[in-house]
Structure formats: C-alpha cells, structure tokens
C-alpha cells in the first residue's frame, strides 16, 4: 500500500476562511476550498507505508522553535501558461530552515531530490486556460496584501487523496515546534 505524502504548515482556520474573500475575479481559476489551504514544506510523492513510517520518525526528530509567519502578496507558476495561483509568504529564515530539515529527512531515507528550489507559497487556485494578463491583474490587486502574522507552532505530514473535485488531505502525524 502506498500514500501520496507531503509535509506542510496549515495556517489558522479563521485565516483560511477569510482568504476565501480574495478568491475571485480570475477566469479559469478552480479556487481551493479553505480546508485545502496549506504551505508545502516538502513534497514526498507516492511512498510505501513502510517509508511513510520511517519518514514519520525522521520528521519527529526535527527540533525547531515556533515562529511567526505572514502571507504577503501573490504570484503564479507556469509563466506564459499559468497553472497555479498563489499567495506569497513574507521572508522567514525559520521557514526556510524547516523546509530544509524536511528535505534532509527525505534524503536520509534516500527519497528522490525535489529538483525545484523551495518557493514558499500557499496555492489558492489551479488554473485552466487562464491568461498571464489575468494572473498579473490578480497579483496587482494583491500587491499590498499582507495577512496578520500567525504563529507556526507545528507542522504535519499529510496524505493526499486525489479526487474528481478538490483533493482531500489527511494529517497523518503532527509535529509540535518548541515553545
């Protein structure tokens, strides 16, 4: 049996609910429901349950203190063929470090390297047929956007269950950060 796994930070529910108010005005956008919003630290892909257990042990060994994080601005992936619309994250060395620690955990188990540079973001929509101009308009509209800072006091290992509609994510394990 295998699971599609990733490590992520989940912003507070109230903040995710409020972000729904920003999710409008982009043709071809399939907006993510509040429950799905997260900041991915490391995508692990399809893994055997034994690897999942080993990963859980490695992630639980990460020692980090809690930190404040803030969503800021917006952007998109896919350049001239936009695929993903996201909110950005204000610069955070602690976030970079936590993502690097999750990557190290994966590499200790011999998982394939991620390949891409870590670009912290919170995906708000997947796009189909959306023009770069539409994305640019959304990004301009959110240029001054900044959420209130929120405390990251844990991260989690999620399994992703791809469905016809929005994927369903399940927290398999939670890792508290030090107070």
Q: Within 10 Å of residue 4's Cβ, how many Cβ atoms?
A: 16
Which residues 76-135 are close enough to bind ligand ATP by CB under 6 A?
Answer: 114, 116, 123, 126
Smaller CB distance to ligand ATP: residue 43 or 67? 43
Rounded to the nearest whole angstrom, what is the least distance from the CB of residue 140 to ligand ATP in the complex? 23
How many Å apart are CA 146 and CA 118, to the nearest integer? 21
Identify which of 115, 130, 134, 39 has the alpha carbon closest to the alpha carbon of residue 83. Answer: 130
Cα separation, 72 vs 146, in Å, equals 4
| Residue 55 beta carbon to ligand ATP: minimum distance, rounded to whole angstroms | 14
Contact between 141 and 116 under an 8 Å Cβ cutoff? The reply is: no
Least distance CB 47 / ligand ATP (angstroms): 12
Residue 178 CB, shortest distance to ligand ATP, in Å, is 25
Q: Among 73, 87, 64, which Cα is nearest to 142's?
A: 73
- Looking at residues 152 to 171 of the shown chain, list those that interact with ligand ATP (rule: CB under 6 A): 160, 162, 167
Residues contributing to the site for ligand ATP (CB under 6 A):
4, 6, 40, 43, 114, 116, 123, 126, 160, 162, 167
């Amino acid at each position: 049996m295998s699971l599609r796994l990733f490590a992520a930070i989940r912003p507070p529910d109230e903040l995710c609910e409020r972000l729904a108010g920003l999710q409008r005005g982009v043709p071809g956008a399939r907006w993510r429901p509040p429950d799905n919003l997260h900041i991915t630290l490391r995508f692990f892909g399809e893994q055997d349950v034994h690897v999942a257990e080993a990963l859980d042990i490695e992630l639980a060994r990460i020692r980090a203190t809690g930190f404040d994080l803030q969503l800021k601005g917006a952007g998109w992936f896919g350049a001239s063929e936009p695929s993903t619309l996201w909110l950005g994250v204000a610069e955070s060395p602690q976030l970079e470090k936590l993502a690097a620690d999750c990557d190290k955990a994966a590499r200790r188990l011999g998982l394939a390297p991620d390949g891409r540079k870590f670009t912290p973001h919170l995906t708000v929509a997947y796009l189909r047929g959306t023009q770069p101009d539409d994305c640019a308009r959304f990004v301009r509209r959110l240029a001054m956007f900044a959420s209130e800072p929120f405390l990251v006091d844990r991260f989690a290992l999620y399994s992703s269950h791809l469905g016809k509609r929005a994927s369903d994510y399940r927290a398999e394990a939670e890792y508290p950060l030090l107070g």
